[in-house]
């Protein structure tokens, strides 16, 4: 075992060996091979190429050198192409802070039976008057940056549960294809995290419609890890044990405290609202939403498009039922 694996338990070390092809004898060579590829992309500013940083990309791509490098390049390219998103990229930024305090994201105290961190989002908590969808995405990315420092999570990964209860049609109308593409690029294509499952619960019909729009833009591997449970919490419990879930998900624990993760990041500044001036942060964030990358989806209207709904035939509805296996 090298010093780069010092933070891993014996069980996780074995998992890294079996599932990720991680070999302590060749670890430094693997890292160097990825680092040597940096010169092939002079158009990208690689701000970090240290061993520990590159290792998380290798783990995310099961030590396939080229795939790990491509992910590393996309990580920095995404930040170059969306510079405004990463200005004031810290927990105390007013927009990020408000999103964090409303539970975007939340994190459960217990890991699942695979050692994965369980992230939770309660969609209806979004207060459109105080922060934007871009702020929510920034808060999620910032949180993942903090969590991925844990080598155990680099190997074991994450699970995400999104509760759509009371999420209104008006709120859903803000989920434009360009905004969703920005999120997909940032989370699926440009971040070194392993997501073992993304679970939708209590989703209304217009979230089903949203899914039909974004589905073609998701990788097959991602599609296989999306579970649409609706009101059937029993199917959720088949994958995540109710003993570690809060009562909102039919679990045995007390209701989730939305400020839990925010207090971890913000510490003593959690209760300091001196920076939270609505006018100061809403305008720049709205500008970002209006000026998303031209690479975004060509559809420019709300995802809740009547034309999409008409095309939702019986087969499509069947395809959106929960998938009950992970590969």
The reported pLDDT for the residue numbered 27 is: 97
User: According to the model, what pLDDT value does residue 208 have?
Assistant: 87
User: CA 218, 317, 201, 122 torsion: positive or negative?
Assistant: positive
Note if the bond before 157 is cis, omega within 30 degrees.
no
pLDDT number for residue 274: 55
End-to-end CA distance of the chain: 28
Whether 168 and 124 have beta carbons less than 8 Å apart is answered as yes
Domain positions in the chain are 1-80, 92-265
Contact 155, 12 (CB under 8 A): yes
Q: Maximum distance among all alpha carbons in the chain?
A: 57
Q: How far apart are alpha carbons 86 and 142 in whole angstroms?
A: 9
> What is the pLDDT, as a whole number, of residue 272?
74
pLDDT, tens digit only, all 327 positions of the chain = 688 998 899 999 999 999 999 999 999 999 999 999 999 999 999 999 999 999 999 999 999 999 999 999 999 999 999 999 999 999 999 999 999 999 999 999 999 999 999 999 999 999 999 999 999 999 999 999 999 999 999 999 999 999 999 999 999 999 988 899 899 999 999 999 999 999 999 999 999 888 888 888 899 999 999 999 999 999 999 999 999 999 999 999 999 999 999 999 998 888 876 545 444 344 445 555 544 443 433 333 333 344 443 443 444 334 334 333 333
Tokens of 22: 């991680």
The C-alpha atoms of residue 40 and residue 42 are separated, in whole angstroms, by 6
235 Cβ contact list (under 8 Å, min separation 6)? 227, 229, 322, 324
- Would you give the DSSP letter of residue 255? P
Q: Are 107 and 117 in contact (CB under 8 A)?
A: yes
Residue 246 per-residue DSSP state: B
Q: 């003993």: which residue's tokens? A: 243
- CATH fit for domain 1-80, picks 1.10.3720.10, 1.20.1440.230, 3.40.50.720, 1.10.8.20: 1.10.8.20
Q: What are phi and psi of 61, to 5 degrees?
A: -120, 30
Structurally, at CATH architecture level, domain 92-265 sits in: 3-Layer(aba) Sandwich (3.40)
pLDDT at 319: 38
DSSP lists the bridge partners of residue 158 as: 117, 195
User: Residue 270, SS3?
Assistant: coil
Q: Contact at 8 Å (CB) between 107 and 244?
A: no
* pLDDT at residue 273, as a whole number: 65
């Amino acid at each position: 075992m090298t010093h780069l694996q010092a933070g891993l338990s014996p069980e996780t070390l074995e998992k890294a060996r079996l599932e990720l092809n991680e070999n302590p004898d060749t670890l430094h060579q693997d890292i160097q091979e990825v680092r040597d590829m940096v010169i092939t992309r002079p158009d990208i500013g690689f701000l970090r190429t240290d061993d520990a940083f590159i290792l998380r990309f290798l783990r995310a791509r099961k030590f396939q050198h080229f795939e790990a490098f491509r992910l590393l390049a996309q990580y920095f390219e995404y930040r170059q192409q969306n510079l405004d998103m990463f200005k004031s990229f810290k927990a105390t930024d007013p927009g990020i802070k408000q999103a964090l305090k409303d539970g975007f994201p939340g994190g459960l105290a217990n890991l699942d039976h695979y050692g994965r961190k369980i992230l939770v989002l309660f969609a209806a908590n979004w207060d459109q008057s105080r922060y934007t969808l871009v702020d929510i995405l920034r808060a999620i990315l910032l949180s993942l940056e903090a969590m991925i420092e844990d080598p155990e999570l680099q190997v074991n990964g994450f699970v995400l549960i999104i509760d759509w209860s009371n999420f209104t049609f008006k709120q859903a109308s803000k989920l434009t294809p360009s905004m969703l593409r920005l999120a997909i690029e940032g989370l699926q294509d440009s971040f070194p995290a392993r997501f073992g499952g993304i679970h939708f619960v209590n989703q209304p019909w217009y979230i089903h419609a949203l899914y039909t729009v974004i589905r073609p833009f998701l990788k097959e591997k991602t599609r296989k890890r999306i579970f649409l449970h609706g009101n059937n919490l029993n199917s959720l419990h088949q994958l995540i044990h109710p003993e570690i879930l809060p009562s909102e998900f039919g679990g045995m624990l007390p209701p989730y405290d939305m400020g839990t993760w925010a207090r971890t990041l913000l510490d003593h500044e959690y209760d300091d609202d001196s920076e939270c001036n609505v006018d100061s942060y809403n305008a720049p964030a709205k500008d970002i939403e209006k000026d998303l990358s031209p690479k975004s989806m060509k559809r420019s209207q709300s995802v809740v498009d009547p034309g999409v709904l008409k095309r939702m035939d019986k087969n499509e509805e069947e395809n959106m039922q929960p998938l009950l296996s992970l590969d």
